[in-house]
Structure 1
Amino acid sequence: MFPRPFAGPLLGLVASLALTSASPAETIRTGAKAVVELFTSQGCVSCPPADALLTSLAERKDVVALAYHVDYWDYIGWEDTFGHEAFSDRQRAYAKSWGSSRIYTPQMVVNGSKAVVGSRRTEVHDAVSEAALPLSVSLHRSGDMLKISVPPDARLPNAVVWLVTYIDRAEISIDRGDNAGKSMVYTQVVTGRQILGMWEAHSGAELKLPLTEMLGAGNTGLAVVVQQESKGLPGAILAAATYEP
């Protein structure tokens, strides 16, 4: 289920960096070194180890872990309860940006630039250990608004600021397909993506986000991801942070 599209107001481009704060009941994670995007499916027989690996990565404070459930395995007898064509299209867009037409599950993409087989634990951990993000995102809650601040860096190209909503945990009993009979726990399940605004390298960005509107429809967390794009295709991720109430 996708949330209603939202275009957050761009309040001004600033060089200052807001302080990060949260009440005891909420969690704000900044300073990530890696964004790990897992393309997975409940109908993929080789995906459960990758799903479990993403769960462990999500526990790290320096990793933003996101699970995109694709829909192209639905034909084999089980329709993924979180699958969506838009997520399959995102995976295809990554492949196209690298000059490839091949997509597969499970696949992990690290910082928008390196792809590895999601079930190969050593390769995934190596990719994460080598990863680094050149920017930081600062999040600060004030009432029902979340202030997002990203500092400038004139050495980098401009980028898009994305909002990604997710469910932090869901348990699904699979009745058909290659994983029939399994009860699976999925974490950081992406439910939707939308553009908040632009980050400009010479001036930074500052935006505000209404939390009640964004965290409706069962969403339990959100990620703010700053990512380069070229000709409509995803590029390198520059920064990311997460908020969970």
Structure 2
Amino acid sequence: MIARPLSGLLLALVAHVVFSSSAMAETLHITPKAVVELFTSQGCSSCPPADAMLTALADRDDVVALAYHVDYWDYVGWKDTFAQEAFSDRQRAYAKSWGSSRIYTPQMVVNGAKAVVGSRRHDVQQAVERASLPLAVDLTLSGDMLKVVVPPKADLSDAVVWLVTFKNRADVKIETGDNAGKSMVYTQVVTGRQVLGMWESESGAELKIPLGEVLGDANTGIAIVVQQERGGMPGSILAAAAYEP
């Protein structure tokens, strides 16, 4: 959580970046091609292959990968340790925005625009390779402050800037339910989301993030997702940043 208000809010997009001490003031210009959101559950028997696929995608420099654990499988005998009702609601909002009421796991959503079955490797790879994001970002780390700058692009509609916190790895031994007896490794596990503000197409934006306050003790990384809305529901993603100290 951010303890003080942020002004001049800005969207950012960046693939995973690790800064060395000699490059802490260096500004990087980065353009990832895809944001992949996996809706998954520890209680879903068909999800482990998709969980593994997301781990592989997270290793790519041109992909921002996020795992949203949903809670609607908890009734089968194992309560997902990372599930939140809000993540299930996000998946339902995607479905509604596409004119559907159907949700399922594992589902991967690419750039907020295309959904594929997360365990179908070919379909996922094809969706990622065809993906693109329209905005680039300058990213600068100075001490504990991460500054992101995105220029205006007048032919796009304004978008909401979201701050997403995540754990880059978690080991879970599942004791009951359809995956009973399995020891699973989960990556890019989303722990929370909150609105930071708006990116405006006519003026661009700037944002400084106090990393220590945002990460706290529970999280290992942050992502910034800049996403358009359609009638209050999620639309296309324009940019996304993932950063791990």
TM-score, shorter chain, exceeding 0.5: yes
- CA 1:108/1:21 → structure 2, altered by over 3 Å: closer, same or farther? closer
Aligned to 1:147: 147
| Matches of 1:60 and 1:223, distance apart in 2 | 15
Aligned to 1:23: 20
Aligned to 2:228: 228
Shift of 1:12: 6.8
Matched, 1:9 2:6: yes
| Matches of 1:177 and 1:111, distance apart in 2 | 32
Comparing 35-44 and 229-238, the one that deviates more: 229-238
Aligned to 2:61: 61
| Matches of 1:26 and 1:108, distance apart in 2 | 34
Shift of 1:5: 6.3
RMSD: 2.1
| Matches of 1:38 and 1:195, distance apart in 2 | 20
- 8 Å CA contact retained: 2:29, 2:136: no
| Matches of 1:21 and 1:82, distance apart in 2 | 26
- CA 1:29/1:7 → structure 2, altered by over 3 Å: closer, same or farther? farther
Aligned to 1:41: 41
Aligned to 1:192: 192
- CA 1:135/1:6 → structure 2, altered by over 3 Å: closer, same or farther? farther
In the TM superposition, what are the counterparts of 1:149-164 in structure 2 within 5 Å? 149-164=149-164
- CA 1:52/1:195 → structure 2, altered by over 3 Å: closer, same or farther? same
What's the TM-score, normalizing by structure 1?
Answer: 0.91
Shift of 1:162: 1.0
| Matches of 1:70 and 1:195, distance apart in 2 | 20
Comparing 54-63 and 217-226, the one that deviates more: 217-226
Aligned to 1:17: none
- 8 Å CA contact retained: 2:146, 2:209: yes
Aligned to 2:117: 117
Aligned to 2:14: none
Q: Which runs of 4+ in 1 moved over 3 A?
A: 4-8, 24-30
Corresponding letter in the other structure for 2:71: D
Corresponding letter in the other structure for 1:92: R
| Matches of 1:88 and 1:7, distance apart in 2 | 29
- CA 1:148/1:7 → structure 2, altered by over 3 Å: closer, same or farther? farther
Shift of 1:42: 0.1
Aligned to 1:205: 205
| Matches of 2:220 and 2:29, distance apart in 1 | 14
- CA 1:49/1:155 → structure 2, altered by over 3 Å: closer, same or farther? same
| Matches of 1:109 and 1:60, distance apart in 2 | 17
Shift of 1:11: 2.7
The size of the alignment, in residue pairs, is: 236
Secondary structure of residue in 1 paired with 2:96: helix
Secondary structure of residue in 1 paired with 2:101: coil
- 8 Å CA contact retained: 1:29, 1:242: no
Unaligned runs of 5+ in 2: 11-16
- 8 Å CA contact retained: 1:8, 1:208: no
Corresponding letter in the other structure for 1:206: E
Shift of 1:184: 0.3
- 8 Å CA contact retained: 1:32, 1:61: yes
Matched, 1:130 2:127: no
Secondary structure of residue in 2 paired with 1:10: coil
- CA 1:173/1:217 → structure 2, altered by over 3 Å: closer, same or farther? same
Shift of 1:137: 2.7
Secondary structure of residue in 1 paired with 2:168: strand
